Structure 1
Amino acid sequence: MSTLAYDGLAMTGRQLRRVRNSPGLAVLTQLMPINMLLFFGYVFGSALAMPGREYRAFLVPGLLVATAAGGLMTGMFQAAADTHRGVMDRFRTMPVSRAAVPLGQAVADLVVTVVGTVPLLLVGLAVGWRIEGSATDAAGAVGLLLLFRFACTCAGIFLGLLTRSEDAAGQLGASSFVLPLLSNAYIPTGNLPGWLRTLAEWNPISAVTTALRDLFGNAAVPPDSAWPVAHPAAGALTWSLALVAVFLPLAVCRYNRGQ
C-alpha cells in the first residue's frame, strides 16, 4: 500500500473517530434537512405547488444537493479548528504524506454523508417522493451527489486552512447557507427576473439539482435554461470536477505552507 493511501486511511479514521466522539453534532446536522423537508413540504407546499408536480417530490433532490453543499461549511470549520488548535502544526512534524491530511478529512466527510443521506431518503419516500427513473440512472444521481459533496468539502478545507480561525470559519460558513437560496433547489427559476435567473442557473447547485431530478425521473429539464441546467449531467460533472481540480491542490499547498 502506498504511503498516501496508508496515511490517508489513518487520517480518515481520525476524522471518523472525531465524529463518533461528537454524536450530538452529527445528529443535529442530519436532522436539519429532514426538518426543512417537513417544513417546506407541508407548511409552504400548497403555496409553492407547481402545476402538474408534487412539490415534495420536487423538493427532495434540492434538499439532497443543498445538504451536499453543506460540505463547504463542514470542511471549513473542521480545518480551521485543527489549524487554530495547533493540530495541523503537529501533523507537519510527523512523517505523514502532505496530501493525506486534507484528503483524509474529505473522504471521512464523504463516509458520514453516505450514512446521513439514508434517513433523508427514507423520509422523502415517506412523504411521497419516488424514484421514477431506472436503477442505473438513480445510481448515477447518487454518484453525482457524492462527487459534489467531495468537491464542496475540498473547497471548505482550503478556506478553513486559509482563515485559520474557528470564529471566522463559523461566520463565513454560515453565510454559505444563502447559496442554495440562489439556485433552483427550492423553487423553479423560470419566473425569476432575467439577471437573477442567469445567476441562479450558473450556480453549481442548480446544475447538480437538475441532474438529480432528471436522473431520478422527478422533473423534465426546464426549457431555455443556461448551459449547466440545459445539460444537467454534463454541467454537474463539469462543476464538480472543476471544484476538485482547483481546491484540492490548493488545500494541499496551503497545508504544506503552514504559517
Structure 2
Amino acid sequence: MTAVQDAAQVQAPRPRGGLAQSVTDSLVVAKRNLIRMTRIPEMVIFGLIQPIMFVVLFSYVFGGSMSVGGSTDPGTYREFLMAGIFAQTVTFATAGAGAGIADDMHKGLIDRFRSLPMARGAVLTGRTLADLVQTTLTVVVLAIVALLVGWRVHEGLPKALAAFGLLLFLGYAFSWIGALIGLSVRTPEAATSGGLIWLFPVTFVSNAFVDSSQMVSWLQPIADWNPFSATVQACRELFGNPGVSQSDAWPMQHPVLASLLWSTVIIVVFRTLAVRKYRSATV
C-alpha cells in the first residue's frame, strides 16, 4: 500500500501558480487553433485576398483623384494610403475572430473547455493569440504587395518594425472586441455581420483614406480621436510616409503614445468583459 502511495506521489504533477497555468493553457489553445488553420488553408488564402484587392483598387482607381498635402501624384497617395490599409487589415481580422468563437460556442466546444481544469481566460487568450499569428502573416504578404506597387519606408528598419508592432497591437486589442461579440451571439453568421457593422464607421471615419481636415467640421474631431486614426498617424510618422496631420488634437500630435494607450485600454476593458461573458455564456 505504501509503495502505491509513493508511486502516486511521484507521478502527481507539481502544482502551478495561476499565472503559469494561464500562460500554459493559453499556448495550448493557441496551438490547437493554429493547427486548425493549417488544415483549412482557404481561411488564410481568403484572408489575404481582400487586403490585396484594397491596395490595388485604392492605388490605381482612386490614386489619381486624391490630394495629399496639395499633391495629386498617385505615388504620393499610395504611400499615404498604405498605413491605412495595414490598419484596416489588422482590424478587419476581428470579424473572423468573433465568428470562430461563435462557431466553437455553437458546436459546444466552449462548454467542453469550461468543464476542464484550465484557466478561465485561456480559451479566449489562446484564440486571440492564434488570430494574431494569422494577422502577422497577412501583414507580411501585404507589405510585399505594397512594395511592388510603389510604397516605400523612409525612416529605416527599426522604426518600420515599431510601426508594424503598433499595428499588430491594435489588431490584438480589436480581437478582444471580436471575442466579446462572438460570445454574445448565437451563430457564426451573426458574429461575422456584427463584427463588420461597427468596423466600417471606425475605419472610414478616420484618417486612413483621406486627411481628416478634408471632412466636414463636425466629423473632424471624431476622426482625430478615433483609436484607429492614432495608429494610422503613428505608422505614417514611423514609415516616413506623407500625410502629417495639421490637427491640434492631442492624439494627432502624439500618435505613437496615443496608439499605445488606446490599444492598452481596449485590451483591458474588452478582455475583462469577454472573460466575464465566457464564464456565464450558454449556447
Structure 2 counterpart of 1:5, one-letter code: V
* 3-state SS, counterpart of residue 246 of structure 2: coil
Task: Tell me if the contact between 2:22 and 2:122 (Cα under 8 Å) persists in the aligned partners.
Answer: yes
Task: Tell me if the contact between 1:224 and 1:230 (Cα under 8 Å) persists in the aligned partners.
Answer: yes
Root mean square deviation, CA, Å: 1.5
* 3-state SS, counterpart of residue 195 of structure 1: coil
Match in the other structure for 1:15: 33
Task: Tell me if the contact between 2:87 and 2:228 (Cα under 8 Å) persists in the aligned partners.
Answer: yes
Q: 1:236 aligns with which of 250, 255, 259?
A: 259
Relative to the length of structure 2, the TM-score reads 0.87
1:41 aligns with 2:63: no
Match in the other structure for 2:221: 198
CA distance in 1, matches of 2:42, 2:148: 24
* Consecutive aligned runs of 4 or more in structure 1 exceeding 3 Å deviation: none
Match in the other structure for 1:211: 234
Shift of 1:135: 2.4
Q: 2:247 aligns with which of 221, 224, 231?
A: 224
Task: Tell me if the contact between 1:71 and 1:150 (Cα under 8 Å) persists in the aligned partners.
Answer: no
5+ residue gaps, structure 2: 1-15
1:4 aligns with 2:26: no
Structure 2 counterpart of 1:8, one-letter code: S
1:73-222 matches, within 5 Å, as: 73-175=95-197, 176-219=199-242, 221-222=244-245
1:56 aligns with 2:74: no
Shift of 1:62: 0.5
Match in the other structure for 2:45: 27
1:247 aligns with 2:265: no
Shift of 1:73: 1.1
Shift of 1:33: 0.7
CA distance in 2, matches of 1:183, 1:108: 28
* 3-state SS, counterpart of residue 19 of structure 1: helix
5+ residue gaps, structure 1: none
* 3-state SS, counterpart of residue 221 of structure 2: helix
CA distance in 2, matches of 1:3, 1:45: 51
CA distance in 1, matches of 2:130, 2:248: 35
* 3-state SS, counterpart of residue 88 of structure 1: helix
* 3-state SS, counterpart of residue 177 of structure 1: helix
Task: Tell me if the contact between 2:225 and 2:251 (Cα under 8 Å) persists in the aligned partners.
Answer: yes
CA distance in 1, matches of 2:135, 2:162: 16
Deviations 1:56-109 (A, max 9, x none): 111111100001111321221111111122111111111221111000011111
Task: Tell me if the contact between 1:221 and 1:230 (Cα under 8 Å) persists in the aligned partners.
Answer: no
CA distance in 1, matches of 2:212, 2:200: 18
Shift of 1:220: 5.1
Identity %: 36
Shift of 1:167: 2.7
CA distance in 2, matches of 1:214, 1:98: 39
Worse-superposed segment, 174-183 or 227-236: 174-183
Q: Please identify the structure whose Cα radius of gyration is greater.
A: 2
Provide the aligned length of Structure 1 versus Structure 2.
259
